[in-house]
Chains A and B, each alone.
Chain A
């Protein structure tokens, strides 16, 4: 649904505003890399603008910090209405490696709603382009949660049905030969 909305709202070009709320500058460099002729994000109509008032998309780097929290919120409010927020880098997605320090509040999600996450520290320029392409509906996302569940516990008391014999000669059928 979000994707459909994106395609409708942001059909032609995305103007991005680049907000660093306290990252280490690694992600900034990668974002600027994306705008170079080599990666050329302007193919998709992506253009860097200097003011949140002109922007459709906010690229957030760095965690939510005590010192920049208000400024980040104000920048978000200044953006005109259909707006998207991309959290770029593990700082913006989850608070980064200093998530438990005094000045870090946590992921930028704590201050402003985030629509797309691009993890990595810093993410490759390709990964950022991929994230934008996912948002524009050019490609499908590749990730899905992985869960491994232990269905059988190799201990007799969890499987009373597999016990054979009675009295002193109780044998667990499924025991692995040693």
Chain B
């Protein structure tokens, strides 16, 4: 009797087959709408910093080294893959990829850093005048995050003053 029940059990098990995924040995496709790591496309990005202003985790840092070069740095460590940056980007420079295999032993591996060339406004030397509604919003315009310490700074400090911001070149008017 017990032998019979064992045989029955074995038959049930054989019929059920194997359910375990052979995962790391064999790639596992993700659902089509899956959101993985955002990937930045430097060729499309215009450096508007909309993504940096809208990221709920403040994952994207912006730093203006000089008048023409803006650095955009995606840290990746506390990114929640929410897709808001990709949503807000006017140029579709960010794609939510299907990458989820981001495990690493050094957190710097998931960083992305873009050096962007920014054109200068021929009239004022900046994109907008200083005391404007945009400036009052404080969330738009020129940002000056602390890239070395990977810190997001709330107040923008990168306006042109008498003393140039870090390594800023003097504007030449021709």
Within the assembled complex, what's the spacing in Å between the Cα atoms of A128 and B42? 30
B 51-90 contacts with A by CB, 8 A: 56-58, 68-69, 75-82
Contacts of B124 on A, CB cut-off 8 Å? Answer: none
In the complex with contacts A39-B23, A115-B105, A145-B113, A150-B80 CB distance below 8 A: no
Within the assembled complex, what's the spacing in Å between the Cα atoms of A90 and B168? 35
Comparing B4-12, B114-122, B133-141, the segment that makes contact with chain A is B114-122
B 95-118 contacts with A by CB, 8 A: 99-117
In the complex with contacts A43-B20, A90-B57, A145-B103 CB distance below 8 A: no
Of B68, B103, B112, B172, the most chain A CB neighbours within 10 A belong to B103
Q: Within 8 Å of chain B (Cβ to Cβ): is A93?
A: yes
A interface majority secondary structure: loop
Residue of B nearest to A63 (CB): B78
**Contact with A38, one of B19, B58, B80 (Cβ below 8 angstroms):** B19
Contacts of B103 on A, CB cut-off 8 Å? Answer: 116-119, 127-128, 130-131, 134, 141, 143
Contacts of A131 on B, CB cut-off 8 Å? Answer: 103
Q: What's the tally of chain B residues with a CB closer than 8 Å to chain A?
A: 43
Contacts of B42 on A, CB cut-off 8 Å? Answer: 148
Contacts of A90 on B, CB cut-off 8 Å? Answer: 57, 77-80
| B105/A116 in contact, CB under 8 A | yes
Within the assembled complex, what's the spacing in Å between the Cα atoms of A118 and B79? 12
Within the assembled complex, what's the spacing in Å between the Cα atoms of A66 and B20? 39
Contacts of A155 on B, CB cut-off 8 Å? Answer: 68
Q: Within 8 Å of chain A (Cβ to Cβ): is B3?
A: no
| A37/B19 in contact, CB under 8 A | yes
Residue of A nearest to B68 (CB): A153
Q: What's the tally of chain A residues with a CB closer than 8 Å to chain B?
A: 51
Within the assembled complex, what's the spacing in Å between the Cα atoms of A90 and B36? 13
Residue of B nearest to A150 (CB): B115
Within the assembled complex, what's the spacing in Å between the Cα atoms of A27 and B43? 35
| A123/B58 in contact, CB under 8 A | no
Residue of B nearest to A134 (CB): B103
Residue of A nearest to B24 (CB): A133
Q: Within 8 Å of chain A (Cβ to Cβ): is B161?
A: no
Q: Within 8 Å of chain B (Cβ to Cβ): is A163?
A: no
| B77/A117 in contact, CB under 8 A | yes
Within the assembled complex, what's the spacing in Å between the Cα atoms of A3 and B113? 27
Contacts of B113 on A, CB cut-off 8 Å? Answer: 145-148
| A154/B117 in contact, CB under 8 A | yes
Contacts of B107 on A, CB cut-off 8 Å? Answer: 93-94, 117
Interface residues of B (CB under 8 A from A): 19-21, 23-24, 28, 30, 37, 40, 42, 56-58, 68-69, 75-82, 99-117, 172
Top 8 nearest A-B pairs (CB, nearest first) are: A94-B77, A94-B78, A131-B103, A121-B80, A148-B42, A133-B24, A150-B115, A40-B20
A-B contacts, 27 of them at CB < 8 A, read: A38-B19, A40-B20, A94-B78, A94-B79, A95-B78, A96-B78, A97-B56, A100-B58, A117-B105, A119-B76, A120-B102, A121-B80, A123-B100, A126-B23, A126-B101, A133-B24, A134-B105, A139-B24, A143-B102, A143-B110, A145-B108, A145-B109, A146-B40, A146-B113, A150-B69, A153-B69, A153-B117
